[in-house]
Amino acid sequence: MSQLITTTKSYKRREVRQEKILLIALADLLGKNKIESDKLTAKLENQISQNHHDTRELKQENLILNSFLTFEKQEKYSAKKKYYSVIMLSVIAITVVSGSYSFLFFNMVEEQYMVSSETLSSGYVIQNLRGDTINTWISWRLIPEEVLYVNIINADRYSDEKIRSIKKAIQSEEIIEIDDSLLHKGPKGMTSEYFLGWEGALKAASASPTEFYIPVNFEFIQSTKGEGDITIRLENYVNSDGFTGWTNSIADESNNQILKSQITLFDVDSLTPNQLEIITRHEFGHALGLAHSTAPEDLMFPTIESDFPYISECNVQAIISLYDKGERSEVVCEK
């Protein structure tokens, strides 16, 4: 019995020791867990604090960015306003300058091509093969690309400058624009085209379809025997009727066809190269089949009084009508 009691007490003491050991181990474990928990709590608190800090910085950055964008928009708007203002001012300046330039340019052109000379008088006659004077419309009847030969008779008696001026009136293709108000054809600011030579005018006319081929090709020859389709005879004597130039066309009356045209220029020694160019330009119009014009300011008027004696648009239209079997040689200027 006593042994059983002793054994029981010994067993209880072991249990107490084991419980104590367990309690110590549990206390130690709880202590370690508390330390880890405290560390984790501190780490979480730091992370939360950092997140709050980052959030505040992000808000501040957004505020700064929005302020910058607002400022940039204002700057762009201001720059755009300045840009369009500069564009508008440039347009106005260009308009004013180009207007002034155009005005100056046309004034320079008009001064360059304005002619002030004595009145030049012209006459022409059409004869049939019998030598009788006839009154009808006439034109050349050529095959396409056919050449008309122009013979300047007595060219060797005069300066190269005078001969060049005669050729220029025929060969030039230069075009100029002249203000209509200067020729009483319209208001100031409106312009019309003029040709300095017949080749340019005839090429412009040939752009329109016509019944008969409009001559555009001319070759110059020099001979004293009168060869050529169109002859230009240079004489020193003064015409008894006061004509500076005279054109005599020989025609096939039944077909209204020009067979030959003879131009005579009088008192050539007294004429300047510029005057020779003007009278040749006029007489060559007759050699092509044109009669006189009804407009005093026109090149083909019987007395050349215009300050701008060049081939006008109405001369070109008259050629188109004539070679389209218009049965009319007179030049009528509607403008």
pLDDT tens-digit readout, 82-125? 555 545 555 444 444 444 444 444 455 556 777 765 789 999 99
Identify the domain boundary among 31, 59, 84.
Answer: 84
Same domain (yes/no): 124, 78: no
Same domain (yes/no): 166, 297: yes
On whether the CB atoms of residues 174 and 195 are closer than 8 A, the answer is: yes
On whether the CB atoms of residues 176 and 290 are closer than 8 A, the answer is: no
189: left (phi over 0), alpha (psi -120 to 50) or beta: left
Report the distance separating Cα 39 and Cα 299, nearest Å.
114
Same domain (yes/no): 146, 267: yes
Same domain (yes/no): 156, 26: no
Q: Is residue 95, in this structure, part of any structural domain at all?
A: no
Same domain (yes/no): 175, 277: yes
CB environment 86-125: b (16+ within 10 A), e (fewer)? eeeeeeeeeeeeeeeeeeeebeeebeebeeeeeebbbbbe
Sign of CA dihedral 281, 231, 152, 124: negative
Same domain (yes/no): 246, 175: yes
Which tens digits make up the pLDDT trace of 248-259? 999 999 999 999
Look at residue 3 and tell me whether its pLDDT is greater than 70: no
CATH number of the domain encompassing residue 256: 3.40.390.10
Same domain (yes/no): 47, 125: no
Q: Is residue 65, in this structure, part of any structural domain at all?
A: yes
- CA dist 132 to 128, 135, 274, Å? 6, 10, 34
Same domain (yes/no): 128, 172: yes
Same domain (yes/no): 10, 148: no
Same domain (yes/no): 126, 209: yes
Structural domain total, the chain: 2
Q: Is residue 106, in this structure, part of any structural domain at all?
A: no
Identify the domain boundary among 84, 108, 135.
Answer: 84
Identify the domain boundary among 63, 84, 105.
Answer: 84
Instruction: Look up the pTM and report it.
Output: 0.69
Q: Is residue 99, in this structure, part of any structural domain at all?
A: no
On whether the CB atoms of residues 290 and 328 are closer than 8 A, the answer is: no
Q: Which of 5-9, 50-54, 63-67, 278-282 has the highest average model confidence (pLDDT)?
A: 278-282
Report the distance separating Cα 93 and Cα 97, nearest Å.
6
Same domain (yes/no): 3, 127: no
Domain region containing 232: 119-323
Q: Is residue 287, in this structure, part of any structural domain at all?
A: yes
